[in-house]
Structure 1
Amino acid sequence: MSDFDVARWRPAPFLPEADARDGSLTFVVAVLCFLACLTLLSLLAADRAARDWTRQLEGQATVIVRPKANETPDGAAARAAETLAGVDGVAEARAMEPEKAEALIAPWLGDADLSDLPVPRLVAVQLTREKPADAQALDRALKAQGLDAVVDDHTAWMADIQRAARLARLAGLFVFALIAVAAAAVIAFATRAGLAARREVVEVLHLSGAEDGFVARLFQARFARMAAHAGLFGAGAAAIMGAVFRLAGGGQGLTPVLPIAWSDLLFVVPAPLAAAGVAALAARFTALALIRDLA
């Protein structure tokens, strides 16, 4: 007598719930999602650092004062600071101590004895946030007092920082897109392997009248669920690493060059959904193309 029970029989699914290759595929997608989230956190931190540096430079200017024959360097710097303090748009002007000026020059001259060199005096100018004075206004005020000075409003530095920030954003977006393409390629390969292993079943389904979209949706749903789980692991690991960097660096994150904020960690939350979307699209298009070839 047969042990087969018709009442308890259920048809086997076209795609089994578990596959021997699922662990490796989940690990690969999780790693790719982890790298994508780290790239995103780095982009946010780099953009914040560039904006902070630009904001600081926009509110400051440096004046290089050269004394004339009838005055001392310190006297010329003091007179320049007094002149600039009265210009509209200047919050504060302060003559820097000779030691600070020499400390700024020392890295460029090495071990040279700066006491024998005619080191110019510097005046640090703090501009107002509302209607700050421009370099032309500062230069006119200095020339009106007969001072030999050069105004540096840090325009060149700001242009370099903004250019570096743009390059960093482009590089980060390129890496992010490359990771997404790699994840799609992995899913496409897994879909191709799954269809190849079930070629005969697909042909039977076609003979039974099943549409291509029906079979493609099975692969789409399967790999979307897998990618969502993998994305959850990858995003969680990236958030933990970002939190470690934030805690390890104190108030400004791991380093002032890449200041990570707590709010940045929220940007990894959509990662599982994004991974599922990429996987679903890759699986669907790959499955449809292969099913048409089989037909």
Structure 2
Amino acid sequence: MSNRVPPPPAGGAGALLPPDSGRDRPLFVVAAILVFLACIAALGARGAWLQAQNWTSDLESSITIQIRPVELRDAQLDAEEAARIALTVPGILSATAHDRAHAEALLAPWLGSGNLPDDLPLPLMVEVQLDPQLPPPGDALQAALDAAGLSASVDDNSRWAGAVRRAARTAQTLGLAMMFLLAGAAAAVVAFAARASLAARINVIDALHICGAEDRFVAGLFERRFFMLGLKAGIAGAACAGLVAVLASLGQGPADMAFFLPHWAMDPFELALLLLAPVLAGATAAISARLAVASDLRGRW
């Protein structure tokens, strides 16, 4: 008996392993869902990083002066005086003094509108924009305000920027961990399906083995078949993920959910990710199928 591997038939791997819609359709759906979730996790991690960059940039480019109300002094005049003093400090581009209505608007989400008595003293805010080319002038500004006798304090927003960075790192870590877990789940599902497909066609495999086909030839048949199935499922899952990301970015979602939504930034990274996802899905399916089938064949003969 010759040990030479017979050439594949004219129909390729499909002639020896014909499609089985009863088994392939559920696997296709499951694989597409896993690719979809993996893409959403990756885009969510990317969105968290972009949101954090935008928020920290806004926080680090400005500081806030809080004008505390003092008896026998006009807080609005003190806020305007603080804005004039701020403009004399190097590193400050602009300073805007806000009135009592602005302070009430800041408190409205917690206390509601129109619930504060008119004689209740409220601190007023002065918003200061910084020159990014110079170091933050927080200490110099505080010294100038103290020298003018104003009851004011400077908040440089650095603690908030640090909190945003930590939240972004946490969201990124969770997103990437979910993506790798989903890839592992997809590999396990494909390996199980490949073993089931091998068991269903064991008579054909035995015939090929009798004719001299080696294990690597048989494993290659399953590898090519599941690569195409994974590629098609990857295309479907990535397309759905891209559509969801675009809709989520165009929608008006709440700001506190920004870290948990996929983000479409209209740059090459997202496009490359979605184009790469089907290839990775096909490669994962092919490798998983080949390893599973090769392992079973070694145990059989």
TM above 0.5, yes or no, is yes
What do residues 152-189 of structure 1 show as CA deviations (whole Å, max 9, x unaligned)? 11122212211221121112112212221221111111
**Number of the residue aligned with 1:129:** 132
Aligned with residue 282 of structure 1, among 270, 279, 288: 288
Distance 2:92 2:198 in 1: 72
CA, structure 1 residues 150+284, in 2 after alignment: closer, same or farther (shift >3 Å)? same
Distance 1:68 1:35 in 2: 56
Query: Percent of aligned pairs with the same residue?
Result: 40
CA, structure 1 residues 266+206, in 2 after alignment: closer, same or farther (shift >3 Å)? closer
Single out whichever of 209-218 and 154-163 deviates more from structure 2. 209-218
What pairs up with 1:32-51 in 2 under 5 angstroms? 32-51=34-53
Distance 1:11 1:26 in 2: 22
Q: What root-mean-square deviation, in Å, do the aligned CA atoms of Structure 1 and Structure 2 show?
A: 2.6
CA, structure 1 residues 10+43, in 2 after alignment: closer, same or farther (shift >3 Å)? closer
Distance 1:182 1:278 in 2: 11
Whichever residue aligns with residue 282 of structure 1, its letter is S
**Number of the residue aligned with 1:3:** none
SS in structure 2 at match of 1:182: helix
Q: Which has the higher contact order (CA 8 A, sep 6+)?
A: 2
What do residues 207-247 of structure 1 show as CA deviations (whole Å, max 9, x unaligned)? 5554332222221111011111111122222223333444x
Does the 8 A contact of 2:69 with 2:122 survive in 1?
no
Aligned with residue 183 of structure 2, among 177, 180, 191: 180
What do residues 118-175 of structure 1 show as CA deviations (whole Å, max 9, x unaligned)? 2112111111121142422322222232322211111222122112211211121122
SS in structure 2 at match of 1:269: helix
Deviation at 1:90, TM superposition (A): 0.6
SS in structure 1 at match of 2:118: helix
Aligned with residue 96 of structure 1, among 95, 98, 106: 98
In structure 2, runs of 5+ residues without a counterpart are 1-8
Distance 1:125 1:228 in 2: 53
In structure 1, runs of 5+ residues without a counterpart are 1-8
Does the 8 A contact of 2:89 with 2:137 survive in 1?
no
What pairs up with 1:1-295 in 2 under 5 angstroms? 15-20=16-21, 21-69=23-71, 71-110=73-112, 112-203=115-206, 205-206=208-209, 209-246=212-249, 248-249=250-251, 257=258, 260-263=264-267, 264-295=270-301
Does the 8 A contact of 2:17 with 2:221 survive in 1?
no
Deviation at 1:61, TM superposition (A): 1.0
Does the 8 A contact of 2:45 with 2:173 survive in 1?
no
Does the 8 A contact of 1:40 with 1:172 survive in 2?
yes
Distance 1:140 1:260 in 2: 44
Distance 2:264 2:178 in 1: 19
SS in structure 2 at match of 1:188: helix
The alignment of Structure 1 onto Structure 2 pairs a total of residues equal to: 283
SS in structure 2 at match of 1:83: helix
Does the 8 A contact of 2:69 with 2:121 survive in 1?
no
Whichever residue aligns with residue 20 of structure 2, its letter is D
SS in structure 2 at match of 1:116: coil
Instruction: With the length of structure 2 as denominator, give the TM-score of the two structures.
Output: 0.83
Distance 1:19 1:124 in 2: 67
